[in-house]
Amino acid sequence: MENLDSDLLRTFLAVAEAGSVTDGAARIHRSQSATSLQIKRLETILGQPVFERHGRGVVLSEAGRRLLPVAQDVTTQLDAALREISQREVSGKLRVGIPDDHGRTKLADIVATFARHHPQVELDVTCALSTGFPDALDKGALDLAIYEVERPKQHEEVLFEDPTCWVSSAHRSFATYDNIPVALFDHACWWRDVAIASAEAGARPYRIAYSSQSVSGVIAAVEAGIAVGLLGRSSLHSGLSVAGDSFGFGPTPASKLIMAASGSSENGPLEAMKEAVRAAFLTKG
């Protein structure tokens, strides 16, 4: 009788958490083909598939859903045993800020995985509008934060770059409008500033028709056909259409998702979290 080994379970977890074989392979620093072979090996042992194809990614099959908690428990216990025996246990307190819109689910998954692998770390997570994160870092209220900027500073580590573009509903055209209705953020942030600058630089008149504190609010207005909005390309889906030059607005910059730490000295939990975030973003290929 064949046995399940931890390496196959870790590969399975990486793909399950990433939602695709490609992104799962990046998390464990393996090629896509090697990762696919390991998943096939696992499925051969189990005698049934653990994933089902879904769009460009994968979702858990019934067998995969049954295996998931077992794989999480086994790998967590193995990691805990290694830390205890090798005395590599990371402990302490870490205050982390993550934005409530951009990549919220992905970032929440990173934090959850970190907590599972480092149970001795006391995590204090703030999920909020990220405009206040730089100030919180400066004042020592946060140890680590992830947020978006137009131009990264020297101490800000870029995790992901997302081109911005003007977007409208795929089912609504504003070609004949005298004034283009736009949806903007209603708080002071660079997204609002660059959107206004782009609209001001254009040849067609515009008016602010909708304001929101969040990306999801702007997307809702665009989907409803109320206005056009400036969004990152990562936010696009089949219900939205890139306007290109049709509005006559000026160019827009790329958004950079960055990670920054406070000026306090480096510690075990901070470095461990940085590595976890990098593994999820920077190895993505």
Q: What CATH number does the domain located at 92-150+259-281 have?
A: 3.40.190.10
Structure tokens at 142: 């946060």
CATH entry 3.40.190.10 includes domain 161-252: yes
Dist. CA 235–CA 8, nearest whole Å: 33
Note whether 6-86 and 92-150+259-281 share their fold.
Answer: no
pLDDT in tens, 182-217: 999 887 788 899 999 999 998 889 999 999 888 888
Structure tokens at 73: 């428990």
Looking at residue 9, its pLDDT comes to 94
Q: What CATH number does the domain located at 6-86 have?
A: 1.10.10.10
What are 255's strand-pairing partners?
162
Lowest mean pLDDT among 66-70, 146-150, 177-181, 241-245: 241-245
Could you tell me the residue ranges of all domains in the chain? 6-86, 92-150+259-281, 161-252
pLDDT in tens, 9-61: 999 999 998 888 988 888 787 888 999 999 999 999 999 999 998 877 899 99
pLDDT in tens, 256-277: 999 999 876 567 889 888 888 8
Q: Are 100 and 133 in contact (CB under 8 A)?
A: no
* Cα distance between the two ends of the chain: 37
**Which run of H or E residues covers position 184?**
strand 180-185
137: three-class secondary structure by DSSP: helix
Residue 83, pLDDT above cutoff 70: no
Most confident range (mean pLDDT) of 84-93, 103-112, 225-234 is 225-234
Looking at residue 285, its pLDDT comes to 40
Q: Are 163 and 233 in contact (CB under 8 A)?
A: yes
Strands 157-169, 240-242: pairing kind: antiparallel
Looking at residue 284, its pLDDT comes to 46
Q: Are 143 and 262 in contact (CB under 8 A)?
A: yes
Q: Which residue has the higher pLDDT, 105 or 51?
A: 51
